[in-house]
Structure 1
Amino acid sequence: MHPWLRAQMVLSCWELVGRILGTSKDDVSDDDDPDDSSLHSPLFWSRDLEKHPYGEFSFAVIKGNEVIEDHSQVETGREATFVGVYDGHGGPDASRYISRRLFRNFIISYFVFAHGWYKASRTIGDAYMKEPEYNADPRFRRYYLPLPEPFQRPLLTPEPSLHRRVLQPSDGFVIFASDGLWENLTNQQAVDIVNKHQRAGIARKLIKRALKEAAKKRQMNFDELLRVPDATRRNFHDDITVVVIFVDHDLLEKGASVPELSVRGFGEVKVCHPM
């Protein structure tokens, strides 16, 4: 059966169950569920609050694809904090590869913080959109629809786009997230949520708000969405990864004596000891 038809059948079943049980659309505000305990499931992973030398961070991931395609990491050191959110496309291979190798190569080739903020965002993989001959290759047609017209220059590039920002006193946090979040929340909505709530668990709260919005689009309530089977969940929402980095300006000049950490989505927190 076509995945879209299967998703529609599942949606119809949940709507019928909702009518029978008398459930209704979930319009409860986040303030009514401060601990977000309903997100405790094998689909979900989080670290509510950890420290980095210049503040704290909150980290959370929920799986939407049958095999998770989002890979992510936070690496903290005495002089810098590295955040990586890698959103797989058409499978997890490229994002998994990058999560294992990018930070190591980054450290070797380019050292950051210097009281500023660097961000890199581009695509690795998707070769069929980088070279015309790949788009015509039958091996790629198995996974992607061919482009309607040949392109004359690459549509995507793996070359990073670098942005440097010198932190200002008004800069309180940075939100890193895969498009699973931004498909359901605007920049302003995400910022307002972070400003309104306490730090601990804020990444989890952003994910829950995004899931509520995804449920509303399908005329479901939040609990119904959580019960959608793994095999069809991607038809309702994507993988969502969120990292919120808080910057405490009183620490920028002196730093804090905190352990160096390596934290990966759906992984354990590892304390790193310098050689």
Structure 2
Amino acid sequence: MVSSGLLKFVSPCWKPSLEDDDASGRAKGLLWYKNSGHHVNGEFSMAVIQANNLLEDQSQLESGPLSSIDSGPQGTFVGIYDGHGGPETSRFINDRLFNNLKTMYGADFASDSRSISADVIRKAFSATEEEFLSLVKKQWLNKPQIASVGSCCLVGIICSGVVFIANAGDSRAVLGRSEKSIGEVTAIQLSTEHNASYPSVREELRSMHPDDTQIVVRKHNVWRVKGLIQVSRSIGDAYLKKAEFNKEPLLARFRLPKPFCKPILSAEPSILEQKLYPEDQFLIFASDGLWEHLSNQEAVDIVHNYPRNGIAKRLIKIALHEAAKKREMRYSDLKKIERGVRRHFHDDITVIVLFLDHHLISRNSSRGPPLSIKGAGGV
């Protein structure tokens, strides 16, 4: 559980606005937020804080039709795209992935599919990956650095009483489930992460590349794939997927000493499909910048113990207090640090909290006004 001391420390500093009528969210310095809104399955709150020179986190919430077919399913789609090496891939995913999902559902509709499926999600990831690699090929000679840009990709979809969690990379989705017997809300992690810091990921890489003794390398106390990158799955990162992009004019620091025959990284997501129950209260989706400073249970306790309005912004603020404390500085001083330099203290952080209304979820055909909102539109 989050410490009472931390909650008391942050509480006096926090005064969320009573309402947020701005449909596209608001920006304040490096912070963008949408305090509250409604999706077809309940309420939501979103926030983004920028640390890099260019914001590398992108995100979206889509509520309403999940298909290009009029009679297709309705639901809620959440995407968290944590870029690395630049913002190009995360921006591309933000523009293309949901459209690809709707298209893939339409293509599968003829096969008698009436709801979203893991196969449709997998195809949407694959189509987005192929589109981006095609873009890299087109821009290779004029903009070779785009081959070293990639993004983690976390997707959550609520449809017909079921939640799908698809993840490639190390962003995280956590469910808050009410435990009436103990009067608390328990954190349940729903996403599988693909980061070389986990022994299971290193073993997976070694089993896939048995002849490569350098497939994972520990540098400066951090495990990295080929000594270059922490995540083992992503969209983009063409330089570690196709040997044709791992050569000049790519910068020398990204070029491997030996050519490779098969992709080192994968865009294949881990997918969980799980029924939602009345005790399931909310879902927290966030890039790894949040989880560097808060545990799953701490985040769930914060969402459970405070008003819904502005809760995503509150999670970010508490994480920044923790980041400042780790550097033995005051939060007020951290806020004065400009983007770029700020990255030495914390990462870009994106948070989307979905509250679950089971009266709406139980209506499998729940319909409401369509909503499309992109995080950090104002930053």
Q: TM-score, normalised by structure 2?
A: 0.58
Aligned letter for 1:102? L
Task: Identify the structure with the greater strand proportion.
Answer: 2
Asked whether the 8 Å contact 1:36–1:208 carries over to 2, the reply is no
CA positional deviation for 1:139: 3.4
Which secondary structure does the structure 2 equivalent of 1:77 belong to?
strand
Preserved CA contact (<8 Å) 2:293 2:323: yes
Greater helix content: 1
Native 8 Å contact 1:131 1:153 kept in 2: yes
- Would the aligned equivalents of 2:27 and 2:33 in 1 still touch at CA under 8 Å? no
Render the CA deviation track for 1:31-57: whole Å, top value 9, x for unaligned: 2223258x9732111111100111100
Contact 2:282 2:354 in 1 (8 A): yes
The alignment's C-alpha RMSD in Å is: 2.6
**In the alignment, what sits opposite 2:273?**
164
The corresponding residue for 1:210 is: 319
Range with greater deviation from structure 2 (223-232 or 151-160): 151-160
Alpha-carbon separation, structure 2, partners of 1:50 and 1:168? 22
Aligned counterparts of 1:106 and 1:241: Cα–Cα separation in 2: 22
Amino acid corresponding to residue 188 of structure 1 in structure 2: Q
> Aligned equivalents of 2:238 and 2:92: distance in 1?
15
| Partner in structure 1 of residue 237 of structure 2 | 126
With over 3 angstroms needed to count, the CA separation of the structure-2 counterparts of 1:251 and 1:200, relative to structure 1, is same
Structure 1 residues 258, 236: closer, same or farther in 2, change over 3 A?
A: same
Give me the identity figure in percent: 47
* Structure 2: gaps of 5 or more residues: 1-5, 18-25, 66-73, 106-114, 117-158, 169-233
CA contact (8 A) 1:51 1:258 kept: no
Question: Amino acid of the residue matched to residue 29 of structure 1?
Answer: F
Pick from 100, 103, 107: which aligns with 2:98? 103
Deviation at 1:209, TM superposition (A): 0.9
| 1:50-89 alignment runs, 5 A limit | 50-77=37-64, 79-89=74-84
Distance 1:148 1:49 in 2: 50
Tell me what 2:195 maps to. Answer: none
Structure 1 residue aligned with 2:360: 251
Q: Which has the higher contact order (CA 8 A, sep 6+)?
A: 1
- Residue 375 of structure 2 aligns to which amino acid in structure 1? G
Q: Contact conserved, 2:10 with 2:318, CA < 8 A, in 1?
A: yes
Paired with 2:298 and 2:104, the residues of 1 have a C-alpha distance of: 36
With 150-159 and 75-84 compared, the bigger mean Cα shift is at 150-159
The corresponding residue for 1:266 is: 376
SS across alignment from 1:118: strand
Shift of 1:182: 1.1
Distance 1:193 1:148 in 2: 47
Q: What one-letter code is carried by the residue in structure 2 that aligns with 1:51? A: H
What displacement does 1:30 show? Answer: 2.3
- The code of the aligned residue for 1:31 comes to S
Size of the aligned set, in residue pairs, is 240
> Displacement of 1:188 after TM fit?
1.2
Does the alignment pair 1:32 with 2:142? no
Quickly say closer, same or farther: Cα 1:188–1:147, change in 2 above 3 A.
Answer: farther
In structure 2, how many angstroms separate the alpha carbons of the residues matched to 1:261 and 1:267? Answer: 15
Q: Report the alpha carbon displacement of residue 204 of structure 1 after superposing the two structures with TM.
A: 0.2
How many angstroms apart in 1 are the aligned matches of 2:284 and 2:46? 10
1:116 aligned to 2:225? Answer: no
Structure 2 CA distance for aligned equivalents of residues 64 and 202 of structure 1: 20
Distance, in Å, in 2 between the alignment partners of 1:179 and 1:151 is 29
| Residues 1:139 and 1:166: Cα distance change in structure 2 (over 3 Å) | farther
Match of 1:5 in 2: none
* Structure 1: gaps (5+ residues): 1-25, 269-275
Call closer, same or farther: CA 1:192–1:148 in 2, change over 3 Å.
farther
Residue correspondence of structure 1 range 225-244 to structure 2 within 5 A: 225-244=334-353
Counterpart position of 2:86: 91
SS at match of 1:59: strand
SS in 2 for 1:162: strand
